[in-house]
Structure formats: structure tokens, C-alpha cells
Structure 1
Amino acid sequence: MALALISGGSGMIGTALSRLLLEKGHRVVVLTRDVMKRSEFGESVEWDGVHPGLWMDWIQKSDWLINLAGENIGGKRWSTEHWRAVRESRVFTGELLTEAVRRSSRKPSVMLQMSAIGYYGIQYAGDTSALDENSPPGNDRLAAVCREWEASSYKVEELGVRRLIIRTGLVLNRKAGVLPKLDLPFRFFVGGPMGNGRQMYSWIHIDDLVQGMLYLLENPGLSGAFNLTAPEPVSNAEFSRLLGRILHRPSWLPVPAFALKLALGEMSTLILDGQRVLPKRLQSESGFTFMYPDVQSALQDIYN
């Protein structure tokens, strides 16, 4: 049994991962700002994500340190203030956890650092070239944040801790994340492609995501960056067609790009500009098997 110490454990991914870890017989301790709001899955320890404190005592007790913390990038319209919160909640947390590991007399055996495929930068519609873990980072604002996010905890490697970097795509979950926002127009019979529909979505079913994370944690020979995305990216148009079919709704009303830009501002890039990312290392080096390799099987499981 491993003791997993998780920052950001009360979010969608953290909750699903905590549930899986407990099912597998591991112990889960969640670092939280609101200790009175105890996690449904695991024990809770108070911290503020900024300052050292008594929570650091848990570092030397933990076997797995899992950093999922970060302000929701799509939670608000993008502004200078929101971007500051997005960056600082990721970078400062990684640096704080690294300092806690440095101070600890007993180190965790592994640290899992969350990141995102935004690391590679956006691909404009029509660019279907494949991106894998060897692809260079992008140069847009989101890519810059991802680079700093990943770098925030790199010093744990110098302390002898195996480090995993998890670059996720669109995480498909019926009750949280991006999917409830994408399926809402279909429920009102006004669903359809976004923009020209050619932008590629690199996605993953929530169950495959947390199973992949556990697989990497349990295999000591694996380290470094891994794309946790399904092996079959899909265009927005095809995603919309399949979503409509599974929901028994038409996919007939395209949403013009200008309307999304007007409504969402710069944040519209998350919808209009995609990425074709492949999980090369996860498949070729680790032997991990996806339960839902294609989007049709994933959506059928989620809705049926």
C-alpha cells in the first residue's frame, strides 16, 4: 500500500484518481484550503498552497506526491488578473512542494506533476501534423505557462525523486470539465461544429486518464513527460457528429468563429485552435492499454 499525498485533489481529476487509489488499497491524503469541506475520497490536511506549514510533515510520510493544483484556465474570461492566477497557482505550488521535499528527511519515491498539451502550442485548423513527447514547446501564452508549470518541480529529480510529467488533453467526463459545456447546445437541438470544424481535439476518457496515472506511478522504470491523450484524435466536426448521434440530436448548426471570439474573447482559442497529440511514450515504452481508444466508444460509455 502506498500513501498518496495529493494537491488539487478535490477537482475532477483529483476526485477520480483518489477514488481509484482507494479502490486499489492505497491511502489518500488531500491537501486542501478548506479542511472543513472534507474530501469524499481520502483524508484532508489544511494548506494554502503558498506558505510552508504543518502540512509539510506529510511529505516524509508519503510514497507518492501528486501535484494537480491549478486555477481553472477556462473558468473565467481571460484577463491579466486571471492569467496571473492561472500561472501563479501552478508555478508557486510546484515550487512550494519541491521545497517541502528538499526539507523532508524522507523523500517520496515519485512525484507526479500535472501539465497539459498546451505545452506544444496551438495548431491552426488544417494542420494535422502529429505531436508527441519529442515535439518542441510552443511559443504562445498557454505554452509558456505550461513550460513554467513543468519546470516548477524539476529540482526534485536532483533530490533523487523520480518525476512524472502528465500532459493531458480534453478530459471527457459527463458531470464535469469540458463535456457538459460541449453537449449543452445539442440538448437544445442547436448543436454543430465550432468554427470550420477542422481543428483537432486530443482527448481522453477520465477513466483512462486516472488508470494511466496509476500505471505510471506503479512502474518505477518510467519517468519524464507522457502525453495522456487517446491514440485517436478527432476533428471538431467529427466529434460533434458523434456527440449528436449518441445524444439522438442533430448536428446541423455550425457556430461561426466570429461569434465565439465575440463571446469568449481570447479564450476562444481553446475551442477554435486544436492539437493533434499522440501518446507515443505511453504506448511504445510502457505497454499501457486504453479502454477507450476512440471517441465513439468513450462517448457511448459516458452517456449510456
Structure 2
Amino acid sequence: MNRVAFVLLFLIFSAIIGGYYLTQSSEKTGITPRPAYPTEIYTSKVMPAVQSWASDAGLILVYGSENCQQILCDVHPMSSPCFCNDSTFGDGKAPQWTFVFYSKQKGELMKVDTYIAQEEGQKRWHVVSKTYQTPIDYSSLGVSLSNPPENHTSKPGVYVFFRNQWTSSIGSINITLTNFTEFKRLILAESKSPMVYGGVLILPDEKIGDLVSPTIIIRTQFNQTNDVITVVYPGAVLRGYTPRLPYKLTSLENYSQSISTIIKRLASPEFSGLKLILGQPYVYYELANGTIKIETLDCDFEVNDGNTKGACRTR
């Protein structure tokens, strides 16, 4: 081998080795990952987990936040601290994205949370997924993923992709608009970020505590062996069947006066602790058998015949 060829081979070999160690060094030093578009995170982080879960998995919701809400940090405290800051609001990129999928074959929902966090001195994208059995068929809510449009003027900070539309908030539904007069259970579920409760997808709600929710769950009697679960979303009503509960049917009209009374009582000094509800990432109101039960991550109250009892815990 002549000298020129040897030098060329040496330079090529050195470049390969140098590139390898540079890559390893960058990973080891934990260069902070940057906020990304949802399509980037879906392709690089989410797709492998979803494909191994179900061949018919269909995307039904995407949620991203540029705000430092620390929602995912609360949900996954072992991965704290989360790095939720984004210096460029409104560019369609975010440091945390949530994807929700539905598989009809499995009858399951999969929720995949991706977010930038620090672990062992390194900052990187984390992926946490969980599956839930669901009685609801979410096939009709399937979406084709795209990136949110840039909007540096309004700087939304939050991105929600639902029913093939990007928005910064999902419209609310009042229980008086559901046209249900009788039910076994009626639940108004609210969450700052998407979550799954009892196999039902809860849409993100920017105003927790106002008793007007973008997700309403109604359980009614279907026959002697099954109940029907109806989920009311803005612009969509889905149904599924589940083994019956032995609860008596309750009239919705009976709650109209009591709900307004409850709202006043919850705002009174006597129950000032309940103002914590407004700061919680999750709350639901369950109406059944003459009782209104209010639960958050840190509060648990029951309201029966106008009497309210319970307690809140501070973080």
C-alpha cells in the first residue's frame, strides 16, 4: 500500500472514530433536547410503541403544551423535574406531547406521554405509555396527524388536535344540554391534560371547577343485564355497553336547584379550601342516587340534600 492510500485510510478511520466519540459525548453530556413538532416525536418516539401494541391502532387525540404546567411531572414524579419551558410560543413546537390511540381489535385506548425531563444528569425525551380497556368505540374520532399552524400573534401555548382540527381549547358542554332526564350516573370530568377515566377519554379543559365540562359521561339502564355508557363530547356522541350496576334511575331535574346551591356553598368562606379545585389537574363530579360527589387529586367531597362534607389536602 502506498503512502497516499495509507494516509487517506487513516483520515477516514479517524473521522469515523471521532464522529462516534462526538456522538457518544453529546449523549453523555446531555445536550438539552429542543421543543419539537408532534410529527417529529410521533415518528421518532411514539410509533414503535404503538405498532408493537396493536396493528389497527388509530390516533384520536394529540395534546401539547408550551406552558410550564408541570402536569406530566405530577403524573410521573419519578421523572421530575420536567423541562416545560419553551422560549418561542406559537411556533407549533412543544417540550411535551400526549398522544391517545384506539384499537378496535383490542377494545383499548393507549395514552402515550412524551416530555423532556432530566434523569441521571441527562436531559432527554421520555416516553411513558399506558393502556386502558374501554367500552366505547372511538373509531369515528380517528385523525390524520399534522403539525399545528404557527401563530406567533396569539401565542396559544397549548395545542389540542381533536376531530382533525387544531385548537387551543375545546368547547364546554353544560349538563342541561345533554337532553338526559334519567340516569344512574352522570359524571362531569375535567382535566388540564388528556386522561382516561373508567376507560373513557377525558378531553383537556382549561377551566376546571366551573361545572361545565367538555366531557360528560352518562350511564343509563339498557336492559336487565347491561347498561349503556354515553359519552358526550363537543360535536360527538359515542356509546358503549357494560354490565349493569344496581343503581336506581335518577332524575336530572332534581339536581338543577341543588347544583346552583352547591356552587354557592363551595365559594363560601366555610369551604374556602375547595378553591384548590381550580388549581388541580383533575376533577370530576359524579351525580347518582341523590348524591353529588366531588373528587380531585387532593380533595374528596360529598354533597347530599344540600349538605357538604369532606376535606382537601394541600400539596
Same-fold call, TM > 0.5?
A: no
Bigger proportion of residues as strand: 2
Structure showing greater Rg: 2
Q: Higher relative CO (CA 8 A, sep ≥ 6), structure 1 or 2? A: 1
Q: What is the TM-score when the length of structure 2 is the normalising length?
A: 0.24
| TM-score, normalization by structure 1 | 0.24
